[in-house]
Amino acid sequence: MASRILKVPPFDLAVFGGTGDLAYRKLYPALFHRYIDGQFTAPSKIIGMSRQAFEQDAFRAKVAGALKRFAGGAAAGSTIDEFVQMFQFVTLDVESDEGWDELKASLNPDPAAVRAFYLATRPDYFAAIAKKIAAHQLVTPSARIIVEKPIGKDGASAARTNDAIGEVFSEQQIFRIDHYLGKETVQNLMALRFANALFEPLWNSAHIDHVEVTVAESIGIEGRARYYEEAGALRDMVQNHLLQLLCLIAMEPPASLDADSVRDEKLKVLKALKPVDASNAAEVTVRGQYRAGAGEGGAVQGYCEDVGNNYSKTETFVALKVEIANWRWAGTPFYLRTGKRLPKRISEVTVAFREIPHSIFPEESGIIRRTRLVIRLQPDEGIKLWLMLKEPGAGGMRLQHAPLDMNFADVFSIYAPEAYERLLMDVIRGNATLFMRRDEVEAAWRWIDPILEAWAHTEDAPRPYFAGTWGPAAAIALVVREGRSWSEEFA
Ligand code: BG6
């Protein structure tokens, strides 16, 4: 099945932090893929900026090197040479006025031309960069700004960052990236729910027993000790990625796919989350921290050694029972878990339907299990619908739990784009559906802040778990004591 490519209008993309990890690993490879698919329209330009000076050719050679490492099989030499000609380097210091005139001179002066500023820097620079963009009069009607999570480290700091950016750009011009929203299968959650008549009538607490979201990573903190020590798994993954997934699973059908219709519905879910605070945090949250154990490539050290702090209380694993206090979901818990140094990299949503009200089958037929819909976000994107079926043969009515199994790579034999490819093209098109609106980010913090506060006021440290295991035993107990279990799909 061939995918259709819709060209985007000509653009200038100016990347602050243009020689950083995010730019080399994610942004430039994503742009390269869109380039080789013929999605760009000339004249378009990518401007990389950093404080450290580079000759144009040296910068282009660095970009080419990054593409060879990170752009996969697509990185044929001659196309890379062509592509890097789109790149220009500007030495620029976000804290002084050095380089800003050169940046201005590099941008297309036509007020209608799309001009996007990507802040691939530490979040504490966001406000200062926005101010400088304004001071140097770089904001045109078609300008837009892209910021990466984390936006703030709590509600108050998020509001300050949003205020500072909001003084320069209107909300329609601000694109807050949560790269999970750009993942193909995350978008498929919407297709599955709203382009099929099958699921939506059952999509409520009358029919769904519980929902599980697992985002497991086998990697550790990958040299990000300073950031991670301050963030921890709740801020790094739950405040954004997992809550966004939860919103897409739980929201009411939006009136249309336009940005505000979708974001209005997600916001309602965030507002309906049952508060977790000091009164119930011990009951519905589990924090863990990895100890030395097995990594994918051999033995790995523990988190405290990774960050060089024996007393660290930062969590690298979280499991939560989340309830949504509204008519659709009252009585259906959502269990979320995420962690570093788990046995595998795997992200899945499992929707477990209620048990049948009455069985007509004799005991010898076997146990009747719940119908489960499993949506695999990564790797091996696909959908499995676990059903009870009759075991073939003449041995009487014996039942078996078996999946209708659909692997997207087999069905759509095309390259599945990386999240950033889709998101960057959406920015250029001005489509904000897959980006977080200010009120969503702040509503998510309003729910997260009391959890952080409850944890800060307890003497308990995060529970240890060995690297290479599925987190602390308490995370299993969280669901088992309610007569349920985490999905065993991949265990
Ligand atoms: C990032 C987190 O937002 O998402 C990282 O900061 C995490 O800690 C990453 O590793 C996971 O993304 P993905 O796309 O690999 O699941």
User: Mean pLDDT of all residues in the chain?
Assistant: 94
Identify the band that residue 454 occupies on the pLDDT scale cut at 50, 70 and 90. Answer: very high
pLDDT computed for residue 86 by the predictor: 97
How far, in Å, is the centroid of ligand 1 from the Cα of 286?
Answer: 20
Report the Cα 387 to chain-centroid distance in Å. Answer: 29
Beta bridge partners of 446: none
pLDDT computed for residue 75 by the predictor: 63
- Where is average pLDDT lowest: 77-86, 95-104, 411-420, 480-489? 411-420
For residues 114 and 171, give the distance between their C-alpha atoms in angstroms, rounded to a whole number.
Answer: 16
More confident residue, 474 or 5: 474
| 236 touches ligand 1 (CB under 6 Å) | yes
**Encoding tokens for residue 432?**
């904000």
Give yes or no for residue 2 having a pLDDT over 70. Answer: no
Give yes or no for residue 382 having a pLDDT over 80. Answer: yes
Q: What is the pLDDT of residues 17-76, one digit of tens each?
A: 999 999 999 999 999 999 999 999 999 999 999 999 999 999 999 999 999 999 876 666
Identify the band that residue 464 occupies on the pLDDT scale cut at 50, 70 and 90. Answer: very high
Mean pLDDT, residues 182-191: 90
Phi, psi of 428 (to 5 degrees): -65, -40
pLDDT computed for residue 489 by the predictor: 61
Give yes or no for residue 4 having a pLDDT over 80. Answer: no
For residues 5 and 448, give the distance between their C-alpha atoms in angstroms, rounded to a whole number.
Answer: 39
Q: What is the pLDDT of residues 196-238, one digit of tens each?
A: 999 999 999 999 999 999 999 999 998 889 999 999 999 999 9
Residue owning the nearest CA to atom 8 of ligand 1:
236
Structural domains of the chain in order of their starting residue, each with its CATH number: 11-148 (3.40.50.720), 181-417+441-490 (3.30.360.10)
| 217 touches ligand 1 (CB under 6 Å) | yes
**Where in the sequence numbering do the catalytic residues fall?**
241
Q: What is the pLDDT of residues 142-168, one digit of tens each?
A: 999 999 988 999 999 999 999 999 999
Phi, psi of 145 (to 5 degrees): -125, 140
Residue from 244, 267, 236, 238 nearest 123 by CA: 236
Mean pLDDT, residues 435-440: 95
How far, in Å, is the centroid of ligand 1 from the Cα of 168?
Answer: 29
3-state helix vs strand vs coil in the chain, percent to 5: 40, 20, 40
Residue owning the nearest CA to atom 2 of ligand 1:
236
Which of the listed residues 234, 236, 315, 422 should we mutate to test ligand 1's pocket, taking the one with most ligand atoms within 8 A of CB? 236
For residues 71 and 73, give the distance between their C-alpha atoms in angstroms, rounded to a whole number.
Answer: 7
Is residue 456 classed exposed, middle or buried when 0-12, 13-18 and 19+ CB atoms within 10 A define those classes?
A: exposed
Q: In terms of DSSP bridges, do strands 372-378 and 298-300 run parallel, antiparallel, or are they unpaired?
A: unpaired
Mean pLDDT, residues 377-390: 93
Ligand 1 atom nearest to CA at 231: 6
Q: What is the pLDDT of residues 279-337, one digit of tens each?
A: 999 999 999 999 999 998 899 999 999 999 999 999 999 999 999 999 999 999 999 99
For residues 121 and 22, give the distance between their C-alpha atoms in angstroms, rounded to a whole number.
Answer: 9
User: How many C-beta atoms lie closer than 10 Å to residue 291's C-beta?
Assistant: 17
Beta bridge partners of 15: 48, 118
How far, in Å, is the centroid of ligand 1 from the Cα of 215?
Answer: 9
Place of tokens 């919103």: 247
pLDDT computed for residue 401 by the predictor: 94
Q: What is the pLDDT of residues 240-275, one digit of tens each?
A: 999 999 999 999 999 999 999 999 999 999 999 999
How far, in Å, is the centroid of ligand 1 from the Cα of 208?
Answer: 29
Identify the band that residue 181 occupies on the pLDDT scale cut at 50, 70 and 90. Answer: very high
Ligand 1 atom nearest to CA at 217: 10
pLDDT computed for residue 41 by the predictor: 94
How far, in Å, is the centroid of ligand 1 from the Cα of 93?
Answer: 28
Confidence (pTM): 0.94
Residue from 247, 243, 315 nearest 286 by CA: 315
Q: What is the DSSP string of 344-409?
A: S-EEEEEEEEPPPS---S-GGG---PPPEEEEEEESS-EEEEEEEEEPSSSS-S-EEEEEEEEEHH
With beta carbons less than 8 A apart as the criterion, state whether 92 and 102 touch.
Answer: yes
